[in-house]
């Protein structure tokens, strides 16, 4: 799924675990995407002001500002972007996380995930956005 430079999709990965962020960046850059990493929701907010993103891969449990808080902020301040979110989590089983994911009805990638699972969920989300 290589893109011409004119329509390169930009993805913001909001992830506090460096190894996971690096894997996401390497895999998605290899697929032709431009990828930036924010280590928490506050950093992501600052980056959103400066750059347009096509898709967001947001870890639910983050320091400073959680993925849930970032999503609520997106819904309030940038409602058109809230539909472009994929969540990641290592704890889908938890009650708060489970009910949050059910409420949002957004795709979720459970850690640990494979590069192919990452590529598939990103491709699927981008195809749905284009419909």
Query: Is position 109 within any domain?
Result: yes
Domain ranges, residue 11 = 5-125
Query: Is position 54 within any domain?
Result: yes
Query: Is position 71 within any domain?
Result: yes
Query: Is position 69 within any domain?
Result: yes
Query: Is position 131 within any domain?
Result: no
pLDDT over 90 (residue 2): no
The CATH number linked to 25 is: 3.40.50.2300
Omega before 116 within 30 of 0, i.e. cis: no
pLDDT over 60 (residue 125): yes
pLDDT in tens, 70-106: 999 999 999 999 999 999 998 756 678 888 999 999 9
Report the number of distinct structural domains present in the chain. 1
Task: Enumerate long-range contacts of 94-99, CB under 8 Å, 24 or more apart.
Answer: 97/60, 97/61
The mean pLDDT value for 110-114 works out to 93
pLDDT over 70 (residue 128): yes
The mean pLDDT value for 108-114 works out to 94
The mean pLDDT value for 92-121 works out to 90
The mean pLDDT value for 2-31 works out to 89
Query: Is position 46 within any domain?
Result: yes
pLDDT in tens, 22-47: 999 999 999 999 999 999 999 999 99
């Amino acid at each position: 799924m290589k893109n011409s430079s004119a329509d390169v999709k930009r993805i913001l990965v909001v992830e506090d675990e460096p190894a996971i962020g690096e894997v996401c960046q390497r895999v998605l850059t290899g697929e032709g995407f431009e990828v930036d990493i924010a280590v928490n929701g506050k950093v992501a907010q600052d980056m959103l002001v400066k750059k347009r993103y096509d898709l967001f891969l947001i870890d639910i449990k983050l320091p400073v500002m959680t993925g849930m808080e970032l999503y609520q902020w997106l819904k309030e301040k940038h409602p058109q972007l809230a539909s472009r979110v994929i969540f990641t989590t290592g704890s889908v089983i938890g009650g708060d996380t489970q009910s949050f994911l059910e409420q949002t009805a957004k795709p979720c990638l459970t850690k640990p995930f494979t590069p192919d699972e990452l590529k598939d969920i990103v491709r699927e989300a981008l195809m749905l956005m284009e419909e």
